[in-house]
Structure 1
């Protein structure tokens, strides 16, 4: 009898225990104690693997505690028994978080066929669109190198680093005094240590001294104003009924030699809205943060709030649908060039949260780009901070190979510095003698101008007529040589195609030595200088194209020598009458002058003179070649101001 009563008691106790487990788990789930709920319902699944409720609560607990990648086996059980939209959609999210994109697309397609609800269709169509674009992701910084800061990280979460005034601030579960029941990991506090760039003093990490870390809740992502006088951070997840029910932003201000106790910020607006991951604009006048408040695109969206006259931040504005998605956007970081870096699981990515950049485009709006596999992984990647934009900084990731949870990583852009090519141009200044020979012309001023006609150098040639300039490769230059008693002369010099390609260079610095000469003519008043190849059609004074090319050279001489005035003369051969030749040569001279005026030469500097056949070089010309010598155009300097 006693034995029968004992068996009955044990059976009754077991029944009560089985009945109480689901209620216990549901209570834990409803309280946001997701890790505890997972433990409770896992006990039921050990005996009943197909239990619908247990699979549901474990799957949802993983999803709601940001571990959706661990939920797929439980959603699969639910789908096998209840192929409903929500089960298939969330199974797709789980596959996507694991990088199993084909499985994810199959689940999303099945889910799409099970609903006519517009909101559901918008969600699933967005996910399908995102997955089709994953193959287009490219590395934003092809030469970036990322390293786990192993000596800084612990087995628990270490995340969201921010540098300010020689210190690195971050959130960490070290020195924790309790367990966050949603994830089963210790609560996080705020710490700091000295840092220079990405080099961190890991031996002297301390709890941040500006204000006291609170016990029994998470103190997370932190922002420090550019002037160092305002600290804003996320605080929440308390299990106390007397505390706020969600995560909110708190601010501490430097007053009277110290920081104030943190106070709740009015921009949180509602105690049931989640507000976190703050960041200041480079000028400190705008605060960016993430929130799940109503009216957004879905999940958590990025907002900006402008500093008010009283120093608070107000009137949060959603950053819009180009940046925000039905998924989650958080951890904004705005740079001086107007780019917005942020984390998202709603844009085309490699798994869970990836880091993206929104680049401003002409006409307004943004183009969003994934930073690519050199930065992102299939796990969560977020919280980028630049210590020297864009060359180096920190980010957070819980990718494989870390210390066990969220870890802080440093990154540096290792793009090789381009090899330097110097073009060393040796310029020799010469003068042309009466017999046509050339001799060294020392102490000649040579000026160097770039393609925009800006003077970039100048010097006098030495006794050997040499002067050297260092030029950039693949550019256009001009050189003007001048000396009293000589015509100034300009030449162009092009270094394009005269240097090796970058990929062919071996040394860090390569000097290419090139040479050129500038020959100056003696400037003599009233000395006739023949312009070669100035031809006119028979009995005409129109400037032919070939004559225009020669006159352009004279235009250059006049521009190089702005202090001279010239007489431009036209001569005919001995054939035809004096009156006819005088008139024809005058028209030709005037036509040439008019052409040069059209090229920008002041008419005051030009005198047109037709000499007809009165100044023949060959007086008894017989052949056509001899007549051509007489038919010439000349100029002579008649004044030097």
Structure 2
């Protein structure tokens, strides 16, 4: 990430005739020819390693050409001579960019200790805290994977790709006719090639055809409006005294079948301000860019300018302190409610990292995209070809083809393994001879929200099948004319393998259940088993409530029936006493049913006392127990 930075400080070329190495190096440094200055002062250091002046200029040349990770030994020499805030702070940045986060935090705190400036102490404290936060960075897209686009990249600089109307546009130093003296790399130009998403025709890359690239200056960081009619790009670093002194934004417009010659954009405001890395909003109504103009928060900040009715742009607005820091923010990529950008001021892994700013519950958060996207090098120039699953970034991380390289990314989230729960249901009926098949029974399936999710009739063999979801609760309701409808609960929770144990893409698990219905006959008494009362009492005991709840369910499953609930006693008391006791017990049972949500008009309480014994001549305790019973019978069926 050297040429897009398009150095903030580029002075006139000052080369005299015969000069000492020191004078030559100073002239090169003053002219922004940092690579040449490094070479010159390195000759001095080869003879005099402790030379303070030479160490200073080499350290600063690396820093100003965005290679501060190489400057550490030179700053360490300077710290031995003078432990200034700047020397400690830049040494810390060099350590940070090498991934030495603990040592960087110590160096930032050392810088804090040698200054009395509140603002500098705050700057160092924030930087040290950022190093401690590196361990908390998680992957924003855990399954996104980066791949170096080796066939697209050159041995030089390739960066900031965008796709517009089936073409990939990017910046590259390939085929450069001259070298930019700040870095020793070739000057950059704009190129394009056909593309379908991240698939690029790497065999037919050509210089930008819309207008001609200029020689001996850097052109880069291109943006194209959504309608394809406006091109905005950064241009600068010319050595000519007649040219602009800084990097500025230029625009070319589609007019009359072709694009116009690029013109200087008023949003630059001043030719001495650095303005670069433009991007359009998705609707084309806003222009985002980075600038070092006064009034920002330090380094380069992100700005936004709204498009006016006449096609020009209004006054740029700083995006604020939540996004901008004392470091550098650049390469904005607005995506609706989210803003992606590069920064070296937020907690990151090294130089520029990619971040996203998003608002949740009214709070704006800036989130590092994580270690599968970012590195300790520069990572920037994010562009989506299929948001958010596919696109490009630029990085100068280790292992690349050249300097800045273009990488593509894809979402490789593994396909979820599917588990189908196949539930075989059989419908049966109770008969005096036992359970037998009940064919052609309507069976309905409901999910946990009581929404119907399936239903059919059982076959002649009383069978049907449902496909259920794992780890879910259901209700199954069976009904047939002439039978009590019945509902049962069914859960698949815990009935399928753990996700990590699944091998096949689709796993079918077969389970079985049955639903047994009883015939619905008017006036046929049905004994409720295990309904007991304390001696001479009519209150409902807890064990009796459990049994009565079964009747509650029958009544809820069959809302069309009305029942008589009757209580019977044995014959071991007077008729009048038994009649009264049984009536009170029947009424108590009915009241319990009402308390559970059953309408009172569906219930009739009847105490028969000892009038209807099952065993007429009861002589044993077992016989008396059979006679002491609670029954219900259907007395009406509403059609």
Q: Give the Cα separation in 1 of the matches to 2:18 and 2:525.
A: 121
Determine which of 411, 419, 422 is the counterpart of 2:420. 422
Q: Give the Cα separation in 2 of the matches to 1:480 and 1:631.
A: 29
1:508 matched to 2:505? The reply is yes
TM-score of the two chains, using structure 1 as the length reference:
0.87
RMSD of the TM alignment (CA)?
Answer: 3.2
Contact 1:234 1:248 in 2 (8 A): yes
Give the 3 Å change call, closer, same or farther, for CA 403–486 of structure 1 in structure 2.
Answer: same
Q: Give the Cα separation in 2 of the matches to 1:550 and 1:308.
A: 77
1:523-565 CA distance string (max 9 Å, x none) = 2233222233333344444443333333333333333333333
Give the 3 Å change call, closer, same or farther, for CA 429–147 of structure 1 in structure 2.
Answer: same
Counterpart of 1:517?
514
Give the 3 Å change call, closer, same or farther, for CA 220–552 of structure 1 in structure 2.
Answer: farther
Counterpart of 1:431?
429
Counterpart of 2:6?
none
Describe how 1:550-629 pairs up with structure 2 within 5 A: 550-629=547-626
Q: Number of matched residues?
A: 623
Counterpart of 1:447?
444
Contact 2:25 2:41 in 1 (8 A): yes
Counterpart of 1:395?
393
1:237 matched to 2:237? The reply is yes
Q: Give the Cα separation in 2 of the matches to 1:263 and 1:452.
A: 63
Q: Give the Cα separation in 1 of the matches to 2:142 and 2:367.
A: 17
Contact 1:568 1:636 in 2 (8 A): no
Q: Give the Cα separation in 2 of the matches to 1:558 and 1:315.
A: 74
1:69 deviation in Å? 1.4
1:124 deviation in Å? 1.4
Describe how 1:149-164 pairs up with structure 2 within 5 A: 149-164=149-164
1:269-299 CA distance string (max 9 Å, x none) = 4443333333445555555443334444422
Q: Give the Cα separation in 1 of the matches to 2:562 and 2:389.
A: 58
1:380 deviation in Å? 1.4
Counterpart of 1:481?
478
Q: Give the Cα separation in 1 of the matches to 2:245 and 2:262.
A: 18
Counterpart of 1:246?
246
Give the 3 Å change call, closer, same or farther, for CA 237–444 of structure 1 in structure 2.
Answer: farther
SS in 1 for 2:363: coil
Give the 3 Å change call, closer, same or farther, for CA 458–156 of structure 1 in structure 2.
Answer: same
SS in 2 for 1:366: strand
Instruction: Show structure 2 runs of 5+ residues with no match.
Output: 1-15
SS in 2 for 1:186: coil
Counterpart of 2:72?
72
Q: Give the Cα separation in 1 of the matches to 2:433 and 2:362.
A: 62
1:303-346 CA distance string (max 9 Å, x none) = 4555556665556555554544322233334556x554432223
Describe how 1:150-189 pairs up with structure 2 within 5 A: 150-189=150-189
SS in 2 for 1:498: coil
Q: Give the Cα separation in 2 of the matches to 1:292 and 1:369.
A: 23
Contact 1:246 1:273 in 2 (8 A): yes
1:117 deviation in Å? 0.7
Q: Give the Cα separation in 2 of the matches to 1:452 and 1:516.
A: 21
Determine which of 530, 535, 544 is the counterpart of 2:532. 535
Determine which of 452, 455, 459 is the counterpart of 1:458. 455
1:494 matched to 2:491? The reply is yes
Counterpart of 1:352?
351
1:141 deviation in Å? 4.5
Q: Give the Cα separation in 2 of the matches to 1:233 and 1:291.
A: 13
SS in 2 for 1:116: coil
Counterpart of 2:272?
272
SS in 2 for 1:527: coil
SS in 1 for 2:377: coil
1:139-176 CA distance string (max 9 Å, x none) = 44454432211100011111122234433222222243
Give the 3 Å change call, closer, same or farther, for CA 566–44 of structure 1 in structure 2.
Answer: same
Give the 3 Å change call, closer, same or farther, for CA 58–511 of structure 1 in structure 2.
Answer: same
Counterpart of 2:10?
none
Contact 2:166 2:194 in 1 (8 A): yes
Contact 1:167 1:193 in 2 (8 A): yes
Give the 3 Å change call, closer, same or farther, for CA 574–219 of structure 1 in structure 2.
Answer: farther
Counterpart of 1:470?
467
Instruction: Show structure 1 runs of 5+ residues with no match.
Output: 1-14
Segment of structure 1 superposing worse, 393-402 or 217-226:
217-226
Contact 1:237 1:247 in 2 (8 A): yes
